[in-house]
Structure 1
Amino acid sequence: MKVLFLALPSSLSVQNIATRSELMLNHVKNRDEVFVLKCGGEQPYCYSNFLKNKSICLKCNLLCDSSLDILNIPNKNIFYLNKDISFQDIPKKFRNIKELKEFNIEGINLGFGVASYMISLLREINFDTIEQKDTIYSICKSAVLIYESTLNLLKKIKPDLVYIWNGRFFDSWAALSACKSLGISFRLFESINGFKYNEKKQIIYKYSFIENDLLHSLDPFKRDIFKSWQNKDLNKEIKVEIGKSFFEDKVQRKDMYVFCKDQDLEKLPIGFDFAKKNIVIFNSSIEEYAAFDEWQNSIYLNENEGIEKIVQSLKGNPEIKIYLRVHPHLKNVNSSQIKDLRRIGSLGFENLQIIWPEEKIDSYALLKNCSKILTFGSTMGVEACFWKKTSILVGRAFYEDLNCSYIPKSHEEVIDLIQKDMDPKPQENAVIYGYWANTSGIEYKYFKPEGDLASGTLIGIDIWKNVSLANRLKHKYLVLKDFGFKNIIKIRLNKLKQKFI
C-alpha cells in the first residue's frame, strides 16, 4: 500500500507533527510505502509564517526533518512543492467573499479554503476582499502551488491513501481538492484539544481522523455519537458515569480548555431578579464554521439578527428578562459580530442585558439560575439538558439529533417556546453526547506528551532535541535577528526591573 503524507506549515505545532508521525509510524510498521510532500519555504504565503520570519521557516523545516529522521523515511520518498507553477490564472482581486469562495482552477474549487482561512485570520466573517486583495492574492498563489504540486505527485506515485491536517484552510483544502479530482482516498487528521478518558476513567491524550469527508461535517459526527454509545464492550453504568463526568468536569473547571475558567464561581449579574422568567442566550464564536453552508442558520440571516428579533418580539412581556452571554472566546475581538452586538446593546431594550466576554459573570451560574437556555449551536445547549434545564437550539449542532433541545422551525416558534412552560428534555440524552465527547478519538501509542500536547517524545525521542546543536543554535540566532536584539534585551531588562520593584 502506498501512503502519502502532506507535511505543510499549517501543521507546524509539535502536537500536529507528532500526530502525523504517529499515523506515519502505523503505516511503516504495517510495511506500507510512505511518501511525504513537504514545504521547503517555497510558498508565497505561509499559514504559520505570514510575516516570513526566517527563524520560523527554519524551525518548521527542522521539526519536520527531525520527525522524518526518527521514523527513517528514505530521502527518495520525500518530495517538495514545485517552484515552477504558473500563477497567471489567479484574479488580482475579488469583489466579495462569495466571488472568492467560487475561485477555481480548471473547475476545481480552491476559494473555499482561502475564504475560510481569511475569516479565521481576521476573526471577521464579513471581511473586505478589496481591502485585503494583496493578502488574498498571495494566499491564492500558495493554494494553487499546493494544489498543482499535490496533483502532479499524485499522478506520479499513485498513492492509495493521503493524509492531510484539518482540511479547512487554503493549503489543506487545496491538497484534498487534488485528491478529490483524481478520486484518491484521503484522511483528515487533528490532535484533540485537552484530554479524554479511557474505560477506567484514566486521563489520556488522543487524536482523530475522518476519511473522505470534512472534520467540520455534521453527519459523520452525528453518526459517530450514536455508534459510540452502542459500544457493547462496556456496560451502561460505566458509560453513564463517563458521560456525566464530561459535564461535571466543565462546571468544576477541570476541562483544560473550558472557556469560563477565568470567571468568578457562582457570580450572577447585579440585580438578577429571581422572580422573573430569566432566559439566557449563549452565542457562538462563529468564524470556524462561517464558510460552511450546512452550518448556516435556517431561521435567521445570522445569530445577531436572531438575537435582535427575539429581544424585539419579547420587549412587551415584563415577566421576561433576557441575558446574552457573549462567548468568552470573543474577548478583545473587534469584529463586525461584536460591533453589531454593541449596536443592539445601544438600542435601549429594557428586557436585555448583555454580558461581554471579559466580564467575570459565571456562565454556569446563569445556566443554573435561568429557566431556559437558548443557543445557536454552543455545547451549552446540551449541557443545559444535562443539568435539567429547558434547552432551545436555534441553529445546527452535533447533538441536534439526540433530543436534548427543542428545535424550532420559525421565529414565531422560537418566541412561543420561550414564553410557554415546558419540561426539560431527558437528561440521559445528554449523557450520550458526554460519553462520546469523553471517549472519542484514538490514543497515542508512540507519541508521549509531557504535561500537555505542546511537548513530548516520539518513540522516546524529543523531536526538537533530535535536531543538531548547530541547527538549534542557528535557529536561536535567527530568532534574535527576526525579532531584534534590542527588543529581546528590552523584554529581559523589564522582567529584571519588575523583579526588584
Structure 2
Amino acid sequence: MKILIAAIYGINSYSRGIMPDWLQTQIDEFPEADIHYLTCSNSFDLCYFNKEKQPDICYRCKTGVKNSLQLIEGNYQHIKIDDIIKKEHRLLANRLFKEYQGNYFDLVYDNFEVGEASLSTYISITRDRYLTKMDEFPVRELVENALCLYLGIRDYIAKYNFNIVYNFNGRQEYVRAVLKASLAQGIDCWNLERPSLGGNIEFFKNTLPQDIKARWQNVEKNWKDSPLTVNEKEELGREFFDRKRIGEGVNMPSYVATQTEGELPSFIDEKSENIVVFTSSDDEYAALGDHFKNPFFKDQNEGLSYLAELVGKDFKQANLIIRMHPNLQYVNFDYVSYIKKLDQIYPNVHVIGPTSSIHTYALMKIASKVVVFGSTTGMEASLIGKPVILLGKCYYFYQDFVYVPDSKLDIKDLLSARLSSKASQDILKFGYYYLDGGVKAKYYFEDRKGKGIFLKGKRVFFYKFTQRLKAKIIQLIYWAFKIRIA
C-alpha cells in the first residue's frame, strides 16, 4: 500500500490539525504502508496565508509543521514541495508563461484549471470579486507556483505508483494542483475538510467540498448511518439552528452576536407586506466553475437590481428589505457600495447595511416571504414556517424545502402568489450534519469556543522559546533590510 498525504497548508489553517491526524490514522491502520507526507515548509513564500510573503510567517509555518510531526508515531516519509519540483518543471512552466498572452486567471494546463484555482485564492485574499486591483498582486507568481506543483506532483505520483492520495480541501491553487495531478494519473484523491467545529472530518472523493451534490450525499449518508433514532437526529438538527439563532458559532462565525435582539427598522408597520432578502457574500463562491454558477443572473447584484425594480414598480404596497450579509462590512469594493445604493431607489426598497444592529431573526419573523441567493438563513426561515424563494446556487439548491423558479420570468409569479412554507426533514438533516457530521477524528480536536486546534491533546502549532525568538529576529531583519533568512 502506497499512500500520499498532501498537507500543503499549515499556519493559520485548521488543516494543521486535520492532516497530521489523518497521517497518524493511516499509520495506525496500515503500519506496513509506504506513506509520504508532503508539506510546503517554505518551498513557496506566497500563499493564501502569507500574501505579503513575510519570512517570519514561513519560518513559523515550517517550524510548526516540524514540531507537530514529532507527535506522530510510526513510519512515514516527510517530503517537501522543493523535493518534488525539478528544474525541468520550472523551465516548462516559465516557458509556458512567456508564451501565454491571455489573462492568467483563464489559464488551463492539461486538466488543471490553474487560473481559476488561483483566482479563487486571489478573491479570498482581496475580496476583489471583479479584479479591479489584480495588477497590485503577484498573480503570475501564484499561478506559476501552482503549475510547477502540479507538474511535480503528477510526476511524483507516477514515480512512486501511489494507490491513493489524501489532500486538504482542493479549492485553491496549490491544493487544486494535488487533486488534478492525482486525477491526471488515474489515482483517487480524497479531499478532507471539516463539517463543523469540534473534531470531525468529512471526505470528498475526486471532487471539491463545494460540490453541491457530493455535499448532499455526505449529508444523506450521515443521516442514514447514524445509530440514533429519527427523533434524536431531528432534535439535534433543530439544536444546530437554535444555537445559531442565539449567536453561537457552531460551524462558522456568528454574525448576530453584535445585533440587538428583536430590533426592527422604524419603517416597519403592520399594514405592509415585507419581502425580506438575505444576501450572501457571493465573492466566496465566484471561482468554482459551474458548481455555484447562478442560473438566473450574472451575479447577486444583478439579481438584487432585478428585485428592486420589480418590487419597486409592481409591488408598491410591499416593502423590499435587503439585509446585507455582515461578512461584507470590511469590503470596500464597488460591488458592495452598489448594493447600498439600492436603498430608496423606490420608496418601498430598503437596504440594511452589514454593520446595522437590526436583528436578522426579527426580520425573518416579520417576513411574508424570504428571498435568498444561497444564505443558510434560507433553511432557517423555511424551518420556522416562512416561504423561501431561492435565486442562486447553494448547498440546498436541489432540495425541495425552498421555491426555485424555473426561469427569471417566474420570480414575479412567486412574489405574487400566496405561498406556504415547504419545510421538510431535509433541513434537519443539514442541521444534524453541521452539528456533528463526518467522521470523528482520533487525534484532531477543534474547540468550539475558539480556544485552539489540538493534535493528541497538544495545541498546534506549538513552539520552543528559541523558535519564537528566531521568528521575531527574522521579522525584524526583514522589516529593516528586506532580507529573507527564513
- TM-score, normalised to structure 1's length? 0.87
1:33 matches 2:29: no
SS in 2 for 1:298: coil
- Greater CA drift, 226-235 or 69-78: 69-78
- Greater CA drift, 447-456 or 159-168: 447-456
Letter in 2 for 1:340: Y
Distance 2:218 2:173 in 1: 27
Deviations 1:187-238 (A, max 9, x none): 1112345x3xxxxxxxx43222212111100111122223333346221111
SS in 2 for 1:78: strand
What pairs with 1:42-441 in structure 2 (closer than 5 Å)? Answer: 42-43=43-44, 45-72=46-73, 77-81=78-82, 82=85, 84=87, 85-86=90-91, 87-91=93-97, 99-106=103-110, 108-128=112-132, 131-132=135-136, 135-193=138-196, 195=197, 204-231=198-225, 233-256=227-250, 257-292=253-288, 293-316=290-313, 317-345=315-343, 348-441=345-438
In structure 1, stretches of 5+ residues that fail to align are: 196-203, 486-501
Describe the shift of the 1:462–1:434 C-alpha distance in structure 2 as closer, same or farther (beyond 3 A).
Answer: closer
Instruction: Work out the number of aligned pairs and report it.
Output: 470
Distance 2:220 2:412 in 1: 31
Describe the shift of the 1:224–1:310 C-alpha distance in structure 2 as closer, same or farther (beyond 3 A).
Answer: same
Q: Judge conservation of contact 2:3–2:35 (CA < 8 Å) in 1.
A: yes
- Greater CA drift, 272-281 or 254-263: 254-263
Output the aligned Cα RMSD. Answer: 2.5
Q: Judge conservation of contact 1:13–1:454 (CA < 8 Å) in 2.
A: no
- Greater CA drift, 354-363 or 110-119: 110-119
Q: Judge conservation of contact 2:222–2:438 (CA < 8 Å) in 1.
A: no
Q: Judge conservation of contact 2:37–2:76 (CA < 8 Å) in 1.
A: no
Q: Judge conservation of contact 1:14–1:454 (CA < 8 Å) in 2.
A: no
Describe the shift of the 1:18–1:452 C-alpha distance in structure 2 as closer, same or farther (beyond 3 A).
Answer: farther
Describe the shift of the 1:207–1:231 C-alpha distance in structure 2 as closer, same or farther (beyond 3 A).
Answer: closer
What is the percentage of aligned positions where both structures have the same residue? 24
Q: Judge conservation of contact 1:95–1:129 (CA < 8 Å) in 2.
A: no
SS in 1 for 2:409: helix
Which residue number in structure 1 is paired with residue 484 of structure 2? none
Q: Judge conservation of contact 2:11–2:461 (CA < 8 Å) in 1.
A: no
SS in 1 for 2:202: strand
Describe the shift of the 1:362–1:463 C-alpha distance in structure 2 as closer, same or farther (beyond 3 A).
Answer: closer
Which residue number in structure 2 is paired with residue 2 of structure 1? 2
Deviations 1:343-402 (A, max 9, x none): 433x72111100010111101100011111000111111111111111111112222333
- TM-score, normalised to structure 2's length? 0.89
Describe the shift of the 1:93–1:303 C-alpha distance in structure 2 as closer, same or farther (beyond 3 A).
Answer: farther
Deviations 1:297-345 (A, max 9, x none): 1111211111111221222333211100000000020123213213433
In structure 2, stretches of 5+ residues that fail to align are: 482-486
Describe the shift of the 1:356–1:62 C-alpha distance in structure 2 as closer, same or farther (beyond 3 A).
Answer: same
- Greater CA drift, 47-56 or 176-185: 47-56
Letter in 1 for 2:278: F
Letter in 1 for 2:7: A
Deviations 1:414-450 (A, max 9, x none): 1111122111113544223222222312223213446
